[in-house]
Amino acid sequence: MDHVISGVAKFQKEVYPNKKATFQKLANGQNPEVLFITCSDSRIDPNLVTQTDPGELFICRNAGNIVPPHSNQTGGMTASIEFAVAALGVSHIVVCGHTDCGAMKGAIKPEGLDALPHVKEWLGHCRVATDVVKERCGTHDLSIDHLEAVTKENVVQQIQHLRTHPAVAAKLATGQVKLHGWVYNIGSGDVLCYNDETGEFKAMDQTAAEAQLARTE
């Protein structure tokens, strides 16, 4: 904890002064372009991976980067999605999974979560993903060997859940919001992107990314 406290002091002394104008502007409101939904895993830093500054991403995190399907029961994710889309007017939503995800391991073997009843219930939102992988692989039981497949399919299914939220559905219907599915590889730094037309994950187009970078420099 000491390094966390000293980090605050470093931020106030060294970082804040260099970005004072930005923070003073943000003090009066926010206008993020992207709703970024990712896992609570401590190894994921959305701003570091995307090289974005405060105010650019509206970030929602939970175990397994899960988006519960819309229902009349209000939850933190439902409220945050509605606020980001209907109030803040984000134009892009990213669902970002990652390698070595503990939540996906739990979804594969839910019987091992009896001592964590709330986690087990929460991961019930991943059941479609595990059932799809079981069907594709022709098996009734999944193992750690299926982790990558489940991680990718979970991202796809959470995007499907997003479509059930009224605020998202309305903006999709008018082309004001675009959905993106990513999987971040912790060890390599690679980011795989879901292609809705092919149904496959491919490495982020570096040529396109570098061209965009050149336009912003």
pLDDT in tens, the chain (217 residues): 999 999 999 999 999 999 999 999 999 999 999 999 999 999 999 999 999 999 999 999 999 999 999 998 889 999 999 999 999 999 999 999 999 999 999 999 999 999 999 999 999 999 999 999 999 999 999 999 999 999 999 999 999 999 999 999 999 999 999 999 999 999 999 999 999 889 999 998 776 566 555 544 4
pLDDT of 72 reads 86
pLDDT of 138 reads 95
- CATH among 3.90.1150.10, 3.20.20.100, 3.40.50.620, 3.40.1050.10 for 31-188: 3.40.1050.10
Q: Per the annotation, does 60 bind a ligand?
A: no
Domain ranges of the chain: 31-188
Rg over CA atoms, the chain: 19
Q: Per the annotation, does 98 bind a ligand?
A: yes
Own/partner pairs, 100-105, CB within 8 angstroms, 24+ separation = 100/147, 100/186, 101/39, 101/41, 101/64, 101/147, 101/151, 102/41, 102/63, 103/39, 103/63, 103/64, 103/65, 103/66, 104/64, 104/147, 104/150, 104/151, 104/154, 105/144, 105/147
CA 37-190-163 angle, to 5 degrees, is: 30
- Mapped onto helix, strand or coil, the DSSP state of residue 38 is strand
Q: Per the annotation, does 41 bind a ligand?
A: yes
Q: Which residue has the tokens 């491919």?
A: 202
Q: If you ran DSSP here, which 8-state letter would residue 122 be given?
A: H
Which DSSP string do the residues of 125-190 spell out, in sequence order? Answer: GGHHHHHHHHHHHT-S---GGGHHHHHHHHHHHHHHHHTTSHHHHHHHHTT--EEEEEEE-TTT--
Q: If you ran DSSP here, which 8-state letter would residue 31 be given?
A: -
Q: Per the annotation, does 137 bind a ligand?
A: no
Residue 84 amino acid letter: A
Contact status, residue 90 vs residue 83, Cβ threshold 8 Å: no
pLDDT of 123 reads 97
